[in-house]
Amino acid sequence: MGVYEELGISPAINASGKMTALGGSVLDDTVVAAMAEAARNHVVMDDLMKVAGEVIAKATGAEDGCPTTGAASGIAIAVAALVAGMEPDRIERLPDPGDRPHEVLLLKGHSVNFGAPVRQMVALGGGRVVEVGSVNKVTAAHVEGAITGRTAALLYVQSHHTVHKGSVSLADMIAMGRRHDIPVIVDAAAEDDLRHWPATGADLVVFSGGKAIGGPTSGLVCGRRTLIEACRAQYTGIARPMKVGKETVLGLLQALRTYGDDEVGDGGRERMAALAAQLGGLPGVTATVERDEAGRNIHRAVLTVDPVTARLDAQGVARELAAGSPPVFLRDHQANTGRLSIDPRPITVAEEAELVTRISALLGAG
Ligand SMILES: *Cc1c(COP(=O)(O)O)cnc(C)c1O
């Protein structure tokens, strides 16, 4: 009996993506082995954190890096580093910023909830979000007009959650940051191109370790050396309750080393096309393959459910599959428009077959 079954829980079939609610990523054997070995030894954590910075630098092209428990804590730590720097009394006083600049300008369409609000992570680090512009329109003039002597950072959130239409570009944000000598933080939590975002000239970039990277529940901040040093210093203050363990650090580094090795090249397109061909024949189901809306190399099978013919709407299909045993999760954030998708990354070939069986049984063609 497995460790989950022993607790009376059946492991889920996850076709929805790298979802925190489903435990993030499933780790490959080399990552699990690195974590197990790390767990069996003591190590000087300060030394480990510095060396980790070098591995992160190599993987991202940034000058240095700092492991975190996730992208969420990475945002808090990045903000804390910019508010308090390296000064011990400032570090220990956070989240009270004292008289330091601590406003963090955030485009209104980027003020999202990824499971918790971005604004709250900024507050945790001693910052205060100032939302700029409107959800669907923010110009450079809006941002420039909001910059004052209290501004500590500009924050840019790169995500499928955020509204990018009608909004000032990252390049413009970085140019404004340079002009006013204000650092730019990019939250690239789920992005898969680890070198692209640091190369934009952003001062600090935050990634999740448990999403695209496929590592354990973890994260990292990378960027300019002096700022990363200030990030590490926050572990003597605000970041202490976000302490990252030796096992997690080693798991993250191993995932970074092997990142991209198993890229299929076509982002799952062929597998998903085969799946779409099987599921598209079901009553009331039209199936296509679509590329990721944020432009990443991920191709998903998209099922459009006609509730009359299928006798169940998309939300009902998702609900029934999740309620079965084992629970099956499709990507359902567009279910209100009749669309459900299947993400190729977290499912095995065996699970694909189970998925077809379950969906066929549910829609009365099994
Ligand atoms: C997932 C996500 C986060 C949080 O990442 P964790 O690693 O789970 O802490 C932050 N920002 C965005 C845009 C995300 O998608």
Please write the tens of the pLDDT for every residue from 60-106.
999 999 999 999 999 999 999 999 999 999 999 999 999 999 999 99
Mean of the per-residue pLDDT values for the chain? Answer: 94
The owner of tokens 């998209």 is 302
Per-residue pLDDT, 366: 46
Q: Which residue has a Cα nearest atom 11 of ligand 1?
A: 189
pLDDT score, position 319: 96
Residue 303 in this model has a pLDDT that exceeds 80: yes
Residue with CA at minimum distance from ligand 1 atom 5: 71
Ligand 1: lining residues by beta carbon, under 6 Å: 20, 70-72, 114, 157, 159, 161, 187, 189-190, 208, 210, 219
Q: Any idea what DSSP says for residue 43? A: -
CA of 140 to the centre of ligand 1 (A): 26
What is the pLDDT at residue 262? 59
CA angle at residue 291 from 285 to 294, to 5 degrees?
125
348 pLDDT more than 90: no
Taking CA atoms, 276 is separated from 2, 12, 127, 129, in Å, by 32, 21, 46, 43
**pLDDT-above-70 percentage for the chain:** 98
Q: Which atom of ligand 1 is nearest to the CA of 73?
A: 9
What is the number of the ligand 1 atom nearest to the C-alpha of 219?
7
pLDDT score, position 166: 87
Which residue among 111, 211, 217, 296 is best mutated to probe the pocket of ligand 1, counting the most ligand atoms within 8 A of its Cβ?
A: 211
Nearest to 222 by CA among 81, 115, 88: 81
pLDDT of residue 239: 98
Could you tell me the distance, in angstroms and rounded to a whole number, from the CA of residue 190 to the centre of ligand 1?
A: 7
pTM of the model: 0.91
Helices assigned H by DSSP within 219-347: 225-233, 246-258, 269-279, 307-310, 314-323
Task: Give me ligand 1 centre to Cα 19, in Å.
Answer: 10
Q: Which of 27, 12, 15, 13 is nearest to 213 (CA)?
A: 27
Domains recognised in the chain with CATH numbers: 3-17+264-362 (3.90.1150.180), 42-258 (3.40.640.10)
3-state secondary structure at position 129: strand
Question: Looking at ligand 1, which atom is closest to the CA of residue 158?
Answer: 13
**How many residues are present in the chain?**
366
Q: Which atom of ligand 1 is nearest to the CA of 121?
A: 10
What order do you get walking across the sheet with 184-187 strand by strand? 64-68, 219-223, 204-208, 184-187, 151-157, 103-107, 128-132
Cis peptide before 327 (omega within 30 of 0): no
At 355 the pLDDT is: 93
Tell me what the mean pLDDT of segment 319-339 comes to: 94
Cβ burial, residue 106 (10 Å; 0-12/13-18/19+): buried
